[in-house]
Structure 1
């Protein structure tokens, strides 16, 4: 029986071992994500475990982000400049969980990427598009807190029009930098344990490498620097004027700081891995280890809504209003 790409991973291992001359040759084969997977990278139980974990996080991410969006849109008191950016982040996380997390759960459970070349490109584009939009949204949130708390522009405040401009810019910026691989500059390939796709970090092609360098600079380094500078100034201001800063602003700033830290902790490992591979093309990273940062980014979609729900005072007030309204509705129904 000859191996083919649609054969389940746990079945391919035996075929490859027989055709290549045993387990020693199979273990010495150098991993390359530019090739369709031609061997089982880990045991069948490993794929099942990865799929189960990502499945839980993806479902939770879809439900919680949808809840944040619906509640914010239904209640006018939540429609404030900062919340526009937070809802935009929830939309980006929802898209990443639905169009990136769910397909990866399916392919990982199967043990191989079953969606074909077009599916690979679409899945990679969706994750990159929504992921960069989310990162830009975090940068907009950081700027909001910096302007509101540190007041670098004096009496100029962060208003709804500024928030909407930031929201629009995050999507335009992400679209600009994620469409070139669809037209030949850069590319999307299988990565990690070969059950999902992403930017072609391993390519030695000069054009692709130039895209990856520009992509890292404009889609990660610049937003990340904006976040770091904004929050360094913000934290300095909060510590320096702990007694004079409004309590509400302190609470919101704490929530956003936790949100930013959670976002960076889930994305920094993947960015570091990608940069290492770009700088050192011959660097070998075990595929299972390389897959962990990728799965971590797809699990990150659940953290922001949890932080928003539990640390946002306005969210608590809205939940109380919803509870009171439900109680009144129940009483009215009972009296009828």
Structure 2
């Protein structure tokens, strides 16, 4: 897509301060962009290969996967999508020292980054809840079946798609980031209007604060349960040791009494 074709696409209003000039030119030194591109190539290759391998292995035994394993595979899919769907655009733009895919590419890059990132966080949230139930509430944890896992994962995809698509429908926008080689949500809308503030606060709460709070709650409870179980095991071991010592003392006393009786009889 040429620069003239990029300009033909309607540009969003309420532009942040760094977009008053050319929004697609990099604000970083060319050397910094090259270093960033090389770093992203390495990280992207590792992420794509690692998550791709997990997905491949899970496909071969898909009917044997347990609910927790299904959630882990779903996390790998989101991370794979993040690496394969967004990083190539960023790498090419870093080498070009500017965003070269225009506003349409900017909207796709912003959407895909938000979609896969949000989906990954929601999946981690369900993984933490699954572990919380299985460790802290065994009577409920072992009732989680594959169908429950599929329901949770379907919700994660729909949830991420909903919040990622809202900016494309007019409430919020995707714009180039300050350094000019990638795109993200227009966080500066919070300074533009009350409607923008509501949008940003909604995104932060439903896509960051709420999932993070659930994750923290789950693992705090798990840690508390593990510590309590450790104390109970230690107390149980102490009682066993005390019981064994008592038996040893009673046995020794019984043997001593028998010896005394035998000496008296002699």
The normalised TM-score by structure 1 is 0.60
CA drift of 1:180 comes to 1.3
Contact kept, 8 Å, 1:104 with 1:196, in 2: the verdict is yes
1:220 aligns with 2:208: yes
Work out the CA distance in 2 between the residues paired with 1:171 and 1:177. 10
- Residue 205 of structure 1 is matched in structure 2 by 192
Q: Name the counterpart of 1:107.
A: 93
Q: What secondary structure does 1:242 align onto?
A: helix
Task: Report whether the alignment pairs 1:84 with 2:59.
Answer: no
Q: Conserved in 2, the CA contact under 8 Å of 1:186 and 1:209?
A: no
Answering whether residue 79 of structure 2 is matched by residue 93 of structure 1, we say yes
SS in 1 for 2:18: coil
Residue deviations 1:183-240 (CA, integer Å, cap 9, x gap): 1100001114110000001123323332111011111111111100000001111122
CA distance in 2, matches of 1:181, 1:31: 19
Unaligned stretches of 5+ residues in structure 1? 7-29, 246-336
Match of 1:26 in 2: none
Distance 1:115 1:76 in 2: 37
TM-score between the two structures when normalised by the length of structure 2: 0.75
**Which residue does 1:230 correspond to in 2?**
218
Shift of 1:41: 2.3
The verdict on how the C-alpha distance between 1:100 and 1:34 changes in structure 2, with shifts beyond 3 A counting, is farther
Gap change, CA 1:209 and 1:238, over 3 Å in 2: same
Tell me what 2:29 maps to. 43
Once the two structures are superposed, the pairs formed by residues 67-216 of structure 1 within 5 Å of their partners are 67-75=53-61, 79-151=65-137, 154=140, 157-203=143-189, 204-206=191-193, 207-216=195-204
Q: Assess if the C-alpha contact under 8 Å between 1:5 and 1:36 holds in 2.
A: no
Checking the alignment, whether the CA contact within 8 Å between 2:25 and 2:97 is kept in structure 1 is: no
Q: CA RMSD in A?
A: 2.5
1:240 maps to 2:228 = yes
Deviation per CA, 1:251-296, whole angstroms, max 9, x where unpaired?
Answer: xxxxxxxxxxxxxxxxxxxxxxxxxxxxxxxxxxxxxxxxxxxxxx
1:188–1:65 CA distance, 2 compared to 1 (3 A): same
Instruction: Select 1:53's aligned residue among 39, 45, 51.
Output: 39
C-alpha distance in 1, partners of 2:55/2:23?
38
SS of the residue 1:241 aligns to: helix
1-structure distance, mates of 2:67, 2:232: 23
**Alignment length (residue pairs):** 219
- CA distance, structure 1, for counterparts of residue 24 and residue 183 of structure 2: 16
Q: How does 1:257-336 map to 2 (within 5 A)?
A: none
CA contact (8 A) 2:24 2:100 kept: no
Cα separation, 2, equivalents of 1:148 and 1:114: 49
- Structure with the greater alpha carbon radius of gyration: 2
Closer/same/farther in 2, CA of residues 119 and 213 from structure 1, 3 Å limit: same
Equivalent pair of 2:54/2:76 in contact (CA under 8 Å) = yes
List runs of 5+ in structure 2 lacking aligned partners.
Answer: 5-15, 234-266
Q: Using the TM superposition, give the Cα deviation of residue 153 of structure 1 relative to its aligned residue in structure 2, in angstroms.
A: 5.1
